[in-house]
Structure 1
Amino acid sequence: MFDTILIANRGEIARRVIRTARRLGIRTVAVFSEADADAQHVRLADEAYPIGGPRPQDSYLRGDAILDAAKRSGAQAIHPGYGFLSENADFADAVEAAGLAFVGPNAASMRKMGSKAGAKELMQAAGVPVVPGYTGEDQAPETLEREAARIGYPLMIKAAHGGGGKGMRVVREPADFLPNLGSCKREAASAFGRDRVLLERYIEQPRHIEIQVFGDSHGSVIHLNERECSAQRRYQKVLEESPSPFLTPALRARMGEAAVLAARAIDYENAGTVEFIVAPDGGFFFMEINTRLQVEHPVTELVTGLDLVEWQLRVAAGEALPLAQDAVAQHGHAIEVRLYAEDPEAGFLPGSGRLQELRLPPQSAHVRVDSGVVEGDTVTIFYDPMIAKLIVHDSDRPRALARLREALAACRIIGPKSNIEFLERLVRHPVVTEGRIDTGYLDRHLDEVLPPPDPPAHAELAAAAAAALLHDEQERRDAAAASPEPHSPWAIADGWRLGHAGDRLLVLQYREQRLELHAAGTGGDYRLRTADGAVLRIEGARSSGGELSLRVDDAGHRFLAHADDDGVTVHDGTRRMRFARLPAFRFEAGADAAGSDRITAPMPGRVVLVEAAPDAEVVEGQALLVMEAMKMELTLRAPRAGIVAEVRAEVGDFVDGDAVLVVLRAET
């Protein structure tokens, strides 16, 4: 076994590898960009070396800098994690040429799978079922358009290199082919450095099921059963689980055998994932082999009881696989979701900013949390905005879903917007609870998971007010205790008055709704009067350990609740509501009359395409620029018909959020 390894990655996967290495007594070396100097993986490793600027191409994609850090640290092996250089055959070769072990498959196997097109041809020759399509090297737009007509619509355009849902488009009409082809190629070139694509028939309402495989240098290849990843939005996995609620034992066995056959066809070593599209009738087709550890590998770890990173290290060190196929166990059910800094109600726009507060559920036998950040860290614009992976395990699927709902309810993220509410709705949706979801369901029915929010009910409003008032009173008691006269009644400004309780104005905001509440009372007993004259009577409000109990108009209620100076979060076990605290006075700013003339950046990012030009005439909805931010493309469109007055950005420019990029001439 190795004495020292370098992890050529960041965030939660770097911390994940360090955790296993430390348990095995292996020293760890981290690398970091300028943006990650204070990151958690840097703090956790035994050593850490800077490798360049904040952009991935200036740091985590620089194989030379990573190899230099490995030599300086005395590392014997490099673990690439996932993403970045994990599937780069040239980097794997360079690692071996430097006399180090690459913790992953060899470069030859990687090259066979590095191209989806080549992989598909190889699997077809090996007898693994594949979807009909085009994988040729001729990438001329007219050739691809002709092949698309031959395959028939709907079809999928896919980046031939890479993964993670990047560079993928479903096209349903011939007229939409060329625009989607251009967008797909740009995204593929940005994400993977190559813009080659392949085409394949699009199977309606498919399921996405992947098989974890492992091979060693002694000729053994086995599979560790499946993970279902059918809950997706725009090809990005949202929820992963094992075992699949769709597979029968017979279908599981056939898919496992096909996955092992695929791995043997390329002499595979180390961890890999064979991904299949599964039709409603149970027919399955090879998609690709990911020649690395997957983001969702903890799901497999929890149902098998195995540490896949340990297996990776042992295989890379030349050891044989620890188990034979018939010794692989499958216990209970595991589910994973990913908490992201993103705004689901704004098209899942990625977010960035400081995590002012981050509370995640405690780890236990049933709950696992893998995260690359802690409270106070910043989610930057340069990398994937994942905050944490939340993985649960229990004896069966209904119990695992219940564990997941409970774990999500215990999460609290203040700072950038997050997808917690979306996930909480998703795991209660019938297509998930009944195991019926397919890969396109969320894109077809997103409004079912993100319906227009209901206004707060009286009990929820009363709970928010009570939590805020109790918080204020506790702060005043704390301030009084620290004052020169801690026992003076005049030092305790808690709303109490001789003979009656003082009236206070409490102003909350729920989404766009401003809520003015006149509160009288103290110590958990209050009388609230709303702006429309309604009166709510609160009695016995008590807050302890994040739980709030109270009676509202004689009816008892219990909430998870947290109040701070900026707002209040209440959770009734089903839905989460965040109320902002506003000052008692109100200031109305005038509307920007020229707002519709300006096209601004929705977030910090890089301009990758400019289609607007001064004096050009545009129509409403016309694409003017394309930005890249948080590993995704954002198309900025004209808010109205008009004539372009100014273009303030060029291709390659890095722009701040809210920066004005295009200005239209004022309407006359």
Structure 2
Amino acid sequence: MTGLGRVLVANRGEIAVRTIRACHALGVEAVAVYSDADEHSRWVRIADHAVHIGRSAASKSYLDGEALLKAAKQSECDAVHPGYGFLSESAEFARAVLDAGLVFVGPTPEAIERMGDKATARRTARDAGVPVVPGSGAVADLAEAEAAAGDVGYPMLIKAAAGGGGRGIRPVRDGAELAAVLPSAQAEARSAFGDGTTYLERAIPHARHIEVQVLADEHGNAVHLFERDCSVQRRRQKLIEEAPAPGLHEVTRQAITTAAVRLAHHVGYRGAGTVEFLVDAEENYYFIEMNTRVQVEHPITEAITGVDVVAEQLRIAGGAPLSFAQDEVDRRGAAVELRINAEDPDHDFAPSPGTIERLDLPGGPGVRVETGVVRGDRISPFYDSLIAKLVCWGADRDQAYARARQALAELELEGVHSTVPLHRRLVADAELRAGPVHTLWLEQRLGERPADADR
């Protein structure tokens, strides 16, 4: 039991489908929301109820907090699950949900604020005894940035304090470049996040991007569900994720997962969250941020642990303690997730909206597909281009990749360009299969100049 009766799923696409399924598995009613573009969507069809919230543009629907709260009240929900993206990491929205007398399926607004501002999150991690990448506090202008640069050291990155999802990051190689780039970086941050605050962070060469899934309840319990490697990315956007991280020494694994749990305790965290790290070639690890929501790649963690992350989110939000202790979490096998996006890899990953004319999904042992679309649905230009997540589990990494190759061979998708052809090449790539790789590996493989070349 969750203590919840009816949950508004304030999102769309595959995460809406995933959340509705978790609600139903727990005996909880699920209410879907939809924009004009999504009226006939899959999540609307499988929900118990559905409410129209506005026009197709996200700003007029899924980003409209007032419309979402109106839908929750209209449908007599007692909780709101924000999914990922949109308003999932908005402390303002979380607070509005609570002020309306509803349960927010996520951390407190205070925790979202504390970990959502990247400069504050760095200070918080440092206070919790978690290593951070050498960097500065907030810098308001060039004079402050130049004063801080001496301690940080070049090459470095200018980062948006309110940033996320790999956005708002600029590489800087020297003082001249700092002076040239800082104004535009602050303008970009202001445009993207409504906050032009930036800070400086030393670039870590040949870094791996490793993150730890944590769960915590309001009773003081916190656990980790091991780690994921998200280093196969382009322009800081992930394409392939793995669990566990290949080639990571056990001493490092224990240190990094312990650090993540320590940070969760330190901030009084509640719900599902992900603590993200950079790991260098010597396996020194550095905190970079905490995502205060469920992650796109949570299924690979579920595959190797057997824990239903979304169901635990719902139980915790209903006031229940975690249903297991740390010593009850077992790691079994390996899993890989491939993000199938409506993008054309042969033309600089240009978006490819359109109607899905054919969609034949793979199956077989260890194969799981998360999607919010079926044949005949339209990939809209208004939203993220994710079509599906292909998750393949195996008794070991080799078997997981073998199943991924077979699944991709079976997958038929027509009507839009997609990343499927690229994934077919990648899962057969000897260098990736030998693993591990760093965060610039894919861009180098594609012959591109990395977005942050010095990193």
TM-score by length of 1: 0.65
- For the residues of structure 1 that align with 2:160 and 2:38, how far apart are their CA atoms? 29
Distance, in Å, in 2 between the alignment partners of 1:195 and 1:30 is 34
Within-5 A mapping of 1:452-531: none
Change beyond 3 A, Cα 1:182–1:389: farther
> How far did residue 184 of structure 1 move?
4.1
Partner of 2:430: 430
Distance 1:157 1:247, change over 3 A: same
Corresponding residue of 1:22: 24
Matched with 2:268 is 267
SS at match of 2:327: helix
Higher helix share: 2
Partner of residue 126, structure 2: 124
> What letter corresponds to residue 431 of structure 1 in structure 2?
E
CA contact (8 A) 1:242 1:300 kept: yes
Q: Post-superposition shift, 1:183?
A: 5.0
> Are the structure 2 counterparts of residues 31 and 398 from structure 1 closer, same or farther at C-alpha, using a change threshold of 3 Å?
same
1:326 corresponds in structure 2 to 327
Give the Cα separation in 1 of the matches to 2:326 and 2:109: 26
Task: Please state whether the residue corresponding to 1:69 is helix, strand or coil.
Answer: helix
Percent of residue pairs identical: 48
| Per-residue deviation, residues 442-462 of structure 1 (Å, max 9, x unmatched) | 2233239xxxxxxxxxxxxxx
Structure-2 separation of matches of 1:49 and 1:171: 47
- 1:168 and 1:235 in contact (8 A); partners too: no
Residue-by-residue CA offset, 1:596-637 (whole Å, 9 max, x unaligned): xxxxxxxxxxxxxxxxxxxxxxxxxxxxxxxxxxxx9xxxxx
Q: What are structure 2's unaligned runs of at least 5 residues?
A: none
- SS of 1:128's equivalent in the other structure is coil
CA shift in 2, pair 1:356/1:211, >3 Å: same
Gaps of 5+ in 1: 449-631, 633-668
Distance 1:180 1:418, change over 3 A: farther
The structure-2 alpha-carbon separation of the partners of 1:80 and 1:298, relative to structure 1 and needing over 3 Å to count, comes to same
Q: Residue in 2 aligned with 1:408? A: 408
For 2:128 and 2:238, the matched residues in 1 are separated by: 28
Quote the offset at 1:109 in angstroms.
1.1
Give the secondary-structure state (helix, strand or coil) at the position aligned to 1:92.
Answer: helix
Q: Does 1:304 align with 2:305?
A: yes
Aligned-pair CA distance for 1:49: 1.3
- 1: CA distance between counterparts of 2:344 and 2:145? 35
Q: Per-residue displacement from partner, 1:472-495 (whole Å, max 9, x unpaired)?
A: xxxxxxxxxxxxxxxxxxxxxxxx
Between 272-281 and 143-152, report the one with greater CA deviation. 143-152
Aligned to 1:72: 74
Alignment-derived partner of residue 6 in structure 2: 4
In structure 2, how many angstroms separate the alpha carbons of the residues matched to 1:13 and 1:157? 31
2:47 aligned residue: 45
CA distance in 2, matches of 1:118, 1:93: 19
Partner of 2:115: 113
Q: Which position in structure 1 is the counterpart of 2:194?
A: 193
Aligned Cα RMSD in Å? 1.8
Distance 2:161 2:287 in 1: 14
- Aligned mates of 1:157, 1:345 — CA distance in 2: 30
Shift of 1:424: 1.1
Letter of the 1:45 partner, please give it: A
Q: Distance in 2 between matches of 1:358 and 1:149?
A: 54
Higher relative contact order (CA 8 A, sep 6+): 2
Q: Which residue of 2 aligns with 1:386?
A: 386
Cα deviation, residue 182, structure 1: 5.0
The 8 Å contact of residues 339 and 419 in structure 1, kept in 2 or not, is answered as yes
The 5 Å alignment of 1:158-237 reads: 158-177=159-178, 180-182=181-183, 184-237=185-238
AA matched with 1:309? V
The 1-side partners of 2:105 and 2:185 are apart by 31
Q: 1:177 to 1:34 in 2, by over 3 A?
A: farther
How much has 1:190 moved relative to structure 2? Answer: 4.4
- The amino acid across from 1:395 in the alignment is A
One-letter amino acid matched to 1:130: V
User: Which residue identity does 1:393 align to in structure 2?
Assistant: W
Change (3 A) 1:204 1:2: same
Give the distance between the partners of 1:390 and 1:208, measured in 2 at CA.
20
Structure 1 pair 155–319 and aligned structure 2 pair: CA distance change class (3 A) = same
Distance 1:60 1:440, change over 3 A: same
- Distance in structure 2 (CA, Å) of the matches to 1:125 and 1:20: 36
Q: Note if contact 1:149-1:174 (Cα within 8 Å) is conserved in structure 2.
A: no
Give the match's secondary structure for 2:447. Answer: helix
Give the deviation of 1:198 after TM superposition.
2.0
Note the C-alpha offset of 1:255. Answer: 0.8
Sort the Cα spacing of 1:397 and 1:341 in 2 relative to 1 into closer, same or farther, 3 A: same
Q: Give distance in 1, aligned partners of 2:344 and 2:179.
A: 30
Deviation at 1:23, TM superposition (A): 1.6
**Matches of residues 529-608 of structure 1 in structure 2 within 5 Å?**
none
- How far has the Cα of 1:191 moved from its partner? 4.0
| Residue of structure 2 in register with 1:442 after alignment | 442
The whole-number CA distance in structure 2 between the counterparts of 1:324 and 1:13 is 26
| Residues 412 and 176 of structure 1: CA distance in aligned 2, closer, same or farther (over 3 Å) | farther
TM-score by length of 2: 0.94
Answer whether contact 1:354 1:378 (CA < 8 A) is retained: yes
User: Which AA in structure 2 matches 1:321?
Assistant: L
Matched length: 447
Cα distance change of structure 1 residues 178 and 238 upon mapping to structure 2, 3 Å threshold: farther
Give, as a single letter, the amino acid of the residue that structure 2 aligns with 1:58: K
Task: Please give the alpha-carbon distance, in whole angstroms, between the structure 1 residues aligned to 2:154 and 2:271.
Answer: 38
What SS is found at the alignment partner of 1:392? strand
- Residues 67, 123 of structure 1: alpha-carbon distance in 2 compared, 3 angstrom cutoff: same
Q: Once the 2 structures are TM-superposed, how far is the Cα of residue 249 of structure 1 from its aligned partner? A: 1.6
After superposition, what is the alpha-carbon deviation per residue over 1:55-105, rounded to whole angstroms, capped at 9, x for unaligned? 222211111111111001010100000011111111111111111111001
SS of equivalent residue, structure 1 residue 135:
strand
Task: Kindly state the Cα deviation for residue 171 of structure 1 after the two structures are TM-superposed.
Answer: 2.8
| SS of equivalent to 1:447 | coil
Match of 1:239 in 2: 240
Aligned partners of 1:166 and 1:187 also within 8 Å: no
CA contact (8 A) 1:210 1:229 kept: yes
Distance 1:148 1:351 in 2: 41
Greater gyration radius: 1
The one-letter code matched in structure 1 to 2:427 is V
Structure 1 letter corresponding to 2:383 = Y
Please give the alpha-carbon distance, in whole angstroms, between the structure 2 residues aligned to 1:344 and 1:127. 41
Give the Cα–Cα distance (whole angstroms) in 2 for the partners of residues 164 and 236 of structure 1: 7
- For the 8 Å contact 1:339–1:418, the answer to whether it is kept is yes
Letter in 2 for 1:270: G
1:367-394 deviation digits (Å, cap 9, x = unpaired): 0000111111111111110110000001
The alpha-carbon distance between structure 1 residues 343 and 183, as it changes in their structure 2 partners (threshold 3 A), is farther
